[in-house]
Amino acid sequence: MPSPAPQRRALFVSYDGSRFFGWQKQADGITTVQNALENALSAIAQEPISVITAGRTDTGVHATAQVVHFDSAARRPEQAWVRGVNAHLPEGVAVWQVREVAPQFHARFDACGRRYRYLLQSAPVRSPLLAARAGWTHYALDIEAMRQAAALLVGEHDFSSFRAAECQAKSPVKTLYSVSLHGTPELLAVDFHGNAFLHHMVRNIMGALVYVGCGKLAVPEFADLLAARSRRLAPPTFMPDGLYLTGVDYPPQWGVPTPPLPAWLFPDL
């Protein structure tokens, strides 16, 4: 009797980036999200499983709705792909939804948008309850100045000034659909929605926005920095602690919706 043909499935995964050494699989067995997820899926499928992700995240960066796809000939009910896999996962990562998708679906190449939220605390002393959950600055912030600077980022730009030296993207030109700020100077959420992002792009932008907020960089100087297309002129990369991948957009024909922000991530700030 012939073996069943492999089926492609998409998983929604959330994880605490502070517990892992980034997303990408490491040959030396170091704990990464990909290592943990592939081991758990392989245990349930009883065959080796490899996953493709919508986007790799660095050490310390979190995700509420990372999307991955994998192929497996194993036939398991949805409960097994969710609860069964979660039973094999370490603390700090969980699968919360699975969908069968067309065999042509690709979690990375079919993505038409990605969403990030950065949580930022501004206070003289960093709250231990927000450790690894929010970025922090001791400077008081001018949110209106930060909004003016953020508005300059919307549209198609060469983001070389906010690109990590080790970035492997073919082009520094990306499109940001929106950058919005919510909350108060004491707890601020900055939402980014774009077609794609360069390595460290959000963290580098946050470093510059914090400089604007505390008066170290004027809004016209921020505009000059974007136009300069030079990372050497930019402020330092900001900490990963407050960065969350919150959604990946796909064309409707794939049947993989973008989930709303979870309530615990302060969606109404």
Predicted local confidence at residue 5, as pLDDT: 86
Q: Which helix (H) or strand (E) holds 240?
A: none
Q: What are the beta bridge partners of residue 8?
A: 71, 101
SS3 state of residue 211: helix
Predicted local confidence at residue 269, as pLDDT: 60
Active site residue ranges: 58
Amino acid at 103: P
Closest to 81 (Cα-Cα) out of 92, 66, 70 = 70
Predicted local confidence at residue 28, as pLDDT: 72
Fold of 7-109: Alpha-Beta Plaits (3.30.70)
Predicted local confidence at residue 79, as pLDDT: 86
Name the binding residues.
116
Can you give the pLDDT of all 269 residues of the chain as single tens digits?
567 789 999 999 999 999 999 999 877 767 899 999 999 999 999 999 999 999 999 999 999 999 999 999 998 888 889 999 999 999 999 999 999 999 999 999 999 999 999 999 999 999 999 999 999 999 999 999 999 999 999 999 999 999 998 888 899 999 999 999 999 889 999 999 999 999 999 999 999 999 999 999 999 999 999 999 999 999 999 999 999 999 999 999 999 999 998 888 876 66
Predicted local confidence at residue 77, as pLDDT: 87
Name the binding residues for substrate.
116
- Whether 7-109 shares its CATH topology with 113-249 is answered yes
Q: What is the residue-wise DSSP string for 57-99? A: --TT-EEEEEEEEEEE-----HHIIIIIHHHTSPTTEEEEEEE
CB neighbours of 116 closer than 8 A, spacing ≥ 6? Answer: 191, 192, 197, 202, 243, 244, 245, 246
CATH of domain 113-249: 3.30.70.660
> What is the residue extent of each domain of the chain?
7-109, 113-249
